[in-house]
Amino acid sequence: NAESAMYRAKDKGRNNFQFFTEAIDLEAQRLLELENALHLALERNEFIVNYQPIVSLSDPGTINCEALIRWQHPTKGLIAPSEFIPLAEEAGLIVPIGEWVLRESCKEAASWMKLSENSPKISVNCSTRQFQRVDMADLVTQVLKETGLPAEKLCLEITESLIIKDDDDDIQNQLERLNEMGVALSIDDFGTGYSSLSYLKRFPISTLKIDRSFISDVNAQEDEGALVAAILSMAESLKLKVVAEGVENAHQQNFLKERDCSFIQGFHCSKPLSGEEFRKFLKK
C-alpha cells in the first residue's frame, strides 16, 4: 500500500545517504592512510631518484639528464611516480617530497662535476603546488649553496598549468629570480596543456619538452610528425631549445635530427637509470 511504499522510499533514500557518507569516509580514510604512508616513506628514506639521459643531437658528447622519483616500498616493491605524485599533491606532501628530490638531485649532479669538465645538467620536475606553497627561488638558492651545484647546472621542469593564470605576479616573480640566478626553466609535456602560447614570450623559458604523445606520431610507415615539425620551427624562431620526450627508435631520432631538434630523451637512448648506472652510462 501507499504508506509502506512511502516508507520503503524513505528507507532507500536513507540508505543512499548512508552509502554516500560511507563512501566519503572511505575516500577520506584512504587519503589519510596514503598521506601517513608517504610521510613515513620520507622519514624512512624510501624514495629514490633515477636519472634518464637527455642526449644532444648536435653534439653527441653532451649529455644531460632528468631526475625521476620512485618509491622503493618495503613490501610492494618499486612504485611509479604516477601512482603517488598526484596524491602527494592532493595531500600537500609534494612540498617536502619535491624538496627532497631537488636536494638529492643537486647533490648527485654536484658529484658528476668531478668526472668531467662538461658534466651533465640536471632537470628536476616541479609541481605547481610547490610554487604556490613555498618560494622556489629561495629554496633553490639554499639547496645550491648546500650542495655546491652551480645554478647553470640546474633546470626546473614546470608545466603550463603553472603559468596558465597570467595575473599571478608571485609566480612570475619566482620564475624571473630563478632565471636571473642562472637556473634554466623548461616546459614539460609541451603541447598537452590548454593555454595560449603568449606565455612563451612573457616568462623566461629556455626549453620546450615535446610530449611523448606527439613523438609517437612519428612512425616509419607514414610520417605523421606534422605537429612535431611545427613545434620545432616555432621553437627555432623563438630561440627556444627543444627536448623530444619518449624517443623510442632510430626513425624518430632521424626525423628529429633532420629538423634540428636540440635534444632527445627516451628508451632509444636509455631508460631511467640508478645513480650508479648513470655514471657508467657517462663513461661509455
Only segment of 49-57, 90-98, 196-204, 210-218 that touches Mg ion (CB under 5 A)? 210-218
Distance CA 218, CA 31 (A): 40
Contact of 115 with 158, CB cutoff 8 Å: no
- Residue number with CB closer to ligand C2E (19 or 267): 267
- Residue number with CB closer to Mg ion (64 or 125): 125
> Which one of residues 64, 125, 130, 265 is an interface residue with Mg ion (CB under 5 A)?
125
**What cell numbers appear for 21 in the block?**
557518507
Q: Nearest 5°: phi and psi at 239?
A: 60, 45
**In whole angstroms, how close is the CB of 189 to Mg ion at the nearest point?**
4
Residue nearest to ligand C2E (CB): 266
Contact of 210 with 245, CB cutoff 8 Å: yes
Residues in contact with ligand C2E by CB under 6 A are 52, 68-69, 80-82, 85, 94, 98, 101, 125, 127, 188-189, 212, 245-248, 265-267, 272
Cα dihedral sign, 26-27-29-33? positive
Among candidate residues 38, 47, 96, the one with its CA nearest the CA of residue 69: 47
- Residue number with CB closer to ligand C2E (92 or 180): 92
- Residue number with CB closer to Mg ion (25 or 248): 248
Distance CA 67, CA 82 (A): 14
Distance CA 122, CA 112 (A): 10
Distance CA 101, CA 68 (A): 8
SS3 232: helix
- Residue number with CB closer to ligand C2E (52 or 262): 52
Decide: is 127 part of the binding site for Mg ion (CB under 5 A): no
Decide: is 160 part of the binding site for Mg ion (CB under 5 A): no
Decide: is 188 part of the binding site for Mg ion (CB under 5 A): yes
**In whole angstroms, how close is the CB of 25 to Mg ion at the nearest point?**
35
160 binds, among Mg ion, ligand C2E, none (CB under 5 to 8 A by kind): none
**In whole angstroms, how close is the CB of 21 to ligand C2E at the nearest point?**
33
Among candidate residues 226, 166, 173, 225, the one with its CA nearest the CA of residue 196: 166
CA dihedral 87, 88, 89, 94 (to 10 degrees): -170
Place of cell 620551427: 233
119 binds, among ligand C2E, Mg ion, none (CB under 5 to 8 A by kind): none
> Which one of residues 174, 186, 189, 190 is an interface residue with Mg ion (CB under 5 A)?
189
**In whole angstroms, how close is the CB of 268 to ligand C2E at the nearest point?**
7
The residues of the shown chain that bind Mg ion, judged by CB under 5 A, are 125, 157, 188-189, 211-212, 245
